Amino acid sequence: MLKKILENKKLLSDIILIGVLLIVSLSVFLIWYLSGTDGSFAVVTVDGKRVGEYSLAIDGVYYINDGTNVLAIEDGKAYMKEASCPGYQDCVETGKISRVGETIVCLPNKVVVEIVGEGDELIQ
């Protein structure tokens, strides 16, 4: 089989192209992931208005938007514990976030949780 692949130049060039694309994609992902910094605060907005700012250093559970969403902070990571929206809950499925720039979005309830750093200007 290897002999057939080596003889078929088009197939060989396709395999090389796929390999190069995989290596480039993995490299970009690693650079992006390793260059991120840990955040200090979770800033919560509802319908574009800031309603809360919670330290990632303090574990707690916070009820947002009259309880439509429940934000939990544990071990320096924030996650949406519960949401009242029906159907698939992307915000709950997002999982835990802790790096600057990461967000959790609940579109039906218009809730956004964004991680910011210590010196970052907070959303007003």
In tens, the pLDDT along 70-82 reads 999 999 999 999 9
**CA angle in degrees (0–180, nearest 5) for 93-37-113:** 35
What's the burial of 91, exposed, middle or buried (CB within 10 Å: 0-12/13-18/19+)?
buried
pTM over 0.85: no
Four-CA torsion 38, 114, 106, 93, nearest 10 degrees: 0
**Residue linked to tokens 């907070």:** 122
For 41-116, the fitting CATH number among 3.40.50.300, 3.30.1050.10, 3.30.70.2740, 2.60.320.10 is 2.60.320.10
pLDDT at 107 over 70: yes
